[in-house]
Chain A
């Protein structure tokens, strides 16, 4: 019984799969037949939607890179370095160390020699080149101050400036006030990027809806007749969905190109404008933003295709 029914079941499944494959091919052919006469308006939609998406993605990439760097700076606010002058006397260093340790909010102070600083710098891609060609060790000895609250940074800086042990020109690595300013700028940038993303999503959806509605209007008679002969509304929507996905994918391709270009040029520009920031790898951030762009645009435009009314 089971040996007789298994081949029959397999044949039935094979027939069903064939029917699905045939139907999918028919839908694709029909969707292409729909789209072919309107390739110019399709290309126009791709350029509009793609440009908007590229703009939003570029802003997002810039904010992500700068934001990541500033966040790392904020985290390092718990550790402030006091740069010591090369000619600093040990008793001045000890006095400054004791003064810093006595401050409220300071957890500990550790001395780091020039050799240790050079060793650490050799592991940092941005600092390592500084020692190339140098006659002597360019890195100063430091007092590494662990703080509980970045607000202590101001008093640390003040004490360093008054001490004879600290470097006259660059006494401390970091002023917390700078971080707070950057943090505020970052918040504004993030809010702006989010608003821009939402605006782009809205405008892109409106542009796509306009295209789909004009297509459905142009084919109103055809859709009505096909509905009358029993074609399912979901099948009638298939060409619109096809068009939505093709616009989304083509616009995403434009966006990915823009992200790739920006990912290769942005670090140079940012290094010039904001040299104190250490950027993460831009192409990794661009890849993540690109992925979100592709998936998001497909979902958004696909959903807008479902909003277009078709005859029942």
Chain B
């Protein structure tokens, strides 16, 4: 599944986003793909990921699982540019992680979507403002951040709750706002680190269904989870760490 769906609306932006764009032309690592080869990463002297190899095509839905401390979060943070690649190779959305300088990290993040376990919403902003503010501050080329934010909230089924602040939303609703924020700029890849970790069963399935829909629309989704039930009902690719 290649990235030619209508959901891709910012190719022009990507082509002009600076030093990282040269790598997008690499056909062996097409936009929307995630490729690691013998990747090593960790914190300080501690190796958390040791020679990880995996390759996911654009539009694939992948669950990343493993015991506590196995490195699920580190894996996600490596792909998101929070943790540096120590050795091996890594390509995310066509970007070579080995050549990612610290000042280019925010450029990588603007191309991806990330959903956190703890939602990471700004408490003093409404749901709409939480989605709109990153668009205004990070995505210059979007002409009407307000409309795009509304569209993203509709996409996650929260159009009616756009004016509520996070403390007036349930955990599942907050996570859907976080997903709306992550997908508003229509990234090719969505990374979700334990997005259902704080949710009840119904909210968990709502979030998982939503992520599956996004994958069906052509978005590559990597979901880190230790939820056994979710894994049992999942028939796609699983990366065990």
Contact = CB atoms under 8 A, between A and B. Distances in A.
B52 interface: no
A230 B106 contact: yes
Contacts of A230: 106-112, 134, 138
Q: Which among B109, B134, B136, B182 has the greatest number of chain A C-beta atoms within 10 A?
A: B136
B160 interface: no
Contacts of B107: 230
B143 A226 contact: no
Interface string A122-133: 000000000000
Q: Which among B102, B133, B182 has the greatest number of chain A C-beta atoms within 10 A?
A: B133
Contacts of A229: 109, 114, 134, 138, 181-182
A253 B111 CA distance: 44
Interface residues of A, number: 21
B105 interface: yes
Interface residues of B, number: 27
Nearest to B105: A312
A26 B114 CA distance: 23
Given A18-B143, A228-B114, A26 B136 contact: yes
Interface in A209-244: 221-222, 225-233, 235
A19 interface: yes
A3 B110 CA distance: 36
A30 B137 contact: yes
B120 A30 contact: no
A228 B137 contact: no
B143 A231 contact: no
Contacts of A26: 136-137, 145
Contacts of B53: none
Interface of A is mostly: helix
B37 interface: no
Given A19-B140, A22-B143, A23-B140, A227 B106 contact: yes
A27 B200 CA distance: 38
Contact of A225 (B106, B110, B122): B122
Given A18-B143, A22-B143, A231 B122 contact: no
Interface of B: 80, 82, 102, 105-112, 114, 116, 120-122, 133-134, 136-138, 140-141, 143, 145, 181-182
Given A20-B140, A228-B80, A232-B106, 5 more contacts: A221-B122, A225-B120, A228-B120, A229-B138, A231-B134
